[in-house]
Amino acid sequence: MTTTNNFNIIPMNTLIHSIRRISALPFAFCLLNFAPRPLLLALCLLVALSSCNKTETAQSEAAVTETAPTELKLTAEQEKNFGISLGNPETRTVFDAIVLNGVVELSPQQSASVSFPLSGIVRSIGVLAGNSVGKGNTLATIESLEIIQLQEDYWKTAGQLQFAEQERQRQTTLSQEEVGAKRKLQQAESEMRVLEATKQGIEAKLQVVGIDPKSLKTNQILRTIALRAPIGGVVKSVQATLGKSINGGESLFEIVNQTGARLVLKVFEKDVNRVKIGQKVTFENGSATITSLGTTFDPNTRTVDAYATLTATRLLAGQYVNGKVVSSPRQTETLPETAIVRTGETAHIFVKTPQGIYRPIDVKTGATQDGFVEVTFSKKPTLPIVITGAQTLQAELTKGEGEEE
């Protein structure tokens, strides 16, 4: 049975000729003339591996010689075009800023829902939503049958009480003369006490709806009464309409007063120990002072509430506020933000040598305030620092790095 091979057999003379062209060793020529076939195959592999190693070594040496530059030398024209300016660190006061988010909350005493305690009909409305009102100003007038009934009951009770007082005095006189029975005197005194209590109750009801019993006249019954603002402020909403029939206690107006509003801020778990009573909170439209700290920890948001009183700032209830708390103020060396070049998590600056060479120096950065960055040097440089133009220097220093990839 004949076996067919699918590869081509290279003639020995051709293989020897190829190896002689690759190899530069004279001794190899002699071996090639007399070596057996297995040895020739091993030599071929050895020569091929040697050639690969030489290529890799050459590539590594080329990469070393093409390392990116670590400094720059500019001409006077380039310095002008790059906008280079030099300077030194400045000692300034910086602080750590704790970010607190929250909302404006009104004091319960500065928010009112205005209603009428009795049923009735709205006969007039004197304000609109957005109007400013003072305490005691008339918001609307209400006509009520229950008000009329209260006045009737008041006068009826007052008349009965007057008669009961006269009867008590008569029974007292008879009792002193030993003519009448003491039981009748006791009964007259009891009826008078009941009527006095009834009258006081009706007077209290009249005062609740805004009627002074002392101002009532026997020949005059009030049909309507003014609904007045319990606090001064701004009318937030109006639910009343002319002719509307209302039930007792139904809300007709809402009034809010921004005076005394405070901030309710959320303090994250990691910042709880850094936030203290008396610290100042600054935000875009003003400032506030922390007056108290909550004692309840919210496991869902991982926060604790802090309460701050606004300082001469007009904010609306429910408005969102993004504030910062000043913590750990200190005097330290700073540089303008334009001098800092950030590369990932590290940062560096550029200094200029007397020979006109710009060289990067690593720094550690901290807090940033008003355009200045806190910097820490491993060794403070004595050379002038590039204040403006650092970003352009960085771009020039790294130019071409991405093009070769």
Q: What is the 3-state secondary structure (H, E, C) of the chain?
A: CCCCCCCCCCCHHHHHHHHHHHCCCHHHHHHHHHCCHHHHHHHHHHHHHHHHHHHHHHHHHHHHHCCCCCCEECCHHHHHHHCCEEECCEEEEEEEEEEEEEEEECCHHHEEEEECCCCEEEEEECCCCCCEECCCCEEEEEECHHHHHHHHHHHHHHHHHHHHHHHHHHHHHHHHCCCCCHHHHHHHHHHHHHHHHHHHHHHHHHHHCCCCHHHCECCECCCEEEEECCCCEEEEEECCCCCCEECCCCEEEEEECCCCCEEEEEEEHHHHHHCCCCCEEEECCEEEEEEEEEEEEECCCCEEEEEEEEECCCCCCCCEEEEEEEEEEEEEEEEEHHHCEEECCEEEEEEECCCCEEEEEEEEEEEEECCEEEEECCCCCCCCEEEECHHHHHHHHCCCCCCCC
Query: 249: alpha, beta or left, given left = phi > 0 and alpha = psi -120 to 50?
Result: left
> What integer pLDDT is reported at residue 370 of this predicted model?
84
* Same domain flag for 151 and 205: yes
pLDDT in tens, 7-41: 344 454 554 455 445 444 444 444 444 445 554 45
- pTM score of the predicted model: 0.55
Is residue 314 in some structural domain? no
pLDDT in tens, 367-378: 888 899 999 998
Instruction: Choose the most confident range, by mean pLDDT, from 27-36, 178-187, 322-331, 347-356.
Output: 347-356
> What integer pLDDT is reported at residue 64 of this predicted model?
38
* Same domain flag for 339 and 386: yes
Q: Indicate whether 50 pLDDT > 70.
A: no
| Domain boundary residue, one of 222, 244, 265 | 222
Is residue 46 in some structural domain? yes
* Same domain flag for 30 and 87: no
Radius of gyration over alpha carbons of the chain, in Å? 48
Please check whether residue 267 is in contact with residue 298, taking contact to mean a CB–CB distance below 8 angstroms: no
Mean pLDDT for 269-283 is 89
> What integer pLDDT is reported at residue 282 of this predicted model?
86
Domain CATH code at residue 380: 2.40.420.20
> What integer pLDDT is reported at residue 5 of this predicted model?
45
Of the two residues 224 and 312, the one the predictor is more confident about is 224
Residues 6 or more apart in contact with residue 13 via CB below 8 angstroms: none
Is residue 198 in some structural domain? yes
Residue 20, domain extent: 12-50
Please check whether residue 97 is in contact with residue 329, taking contact to mean a CB–CB distance below 8 angstroms: no
Average pLDDT, the chain: 81
* Same domain flag for 166 and 202: yes
Is residue 311 in some structural domain? no
| Domain boundary residue, one of 193, 222, 251 | 222
Per residue in 202-229, is it b (16+ CB within 10 Å) or e — as a string?
A: bbebbeebebebeebeeeeebeebebeb
pLDDT band at 42 (very low <50, low <70, confident <90, very high): low
| Domain boundary residue, one of 171, 189, 222 | 222
* Same domain flag for 46 and 78: no
Is residue 161 in some structural domain? yes
* Same domain flag for 155 and 195: yes
Is residue 384 in some structural domain? yes
> What integer pLDDT is reported at residue 245 of this predicted model?
93
12: tokens are: 């020995």
Is residue 293 in some structural domain? no
> What integer pLDDT is reported at residue 230 of this predicted model?
93
* Same domain flag for 206 and 156: yes
Could you tell me which residues are beta bridge partners of residue 140? Answer: 125, 227
Is residue 154 in some structural domain? yes
Give the number of other Cβ atoms within 10 Å of residue 335's Cβ.
23
pLDDT band at 60 (very low <50, low <70, confident <90, very high): very low
Mean pLDDT for 361-366 is 92
pLDDT in tens, 213-266: 888 887 788 899 999 999 999 999 999 999 999 999 899 999 988 887 889 999
* Same domain flag for 149 and 218: yes
Q: Which amino acid is at 128?
A: L
* Same domain flag for 33 and 90: no
Mean pLDDT for 357-364 is 92
Total count of domains within the chain: 3
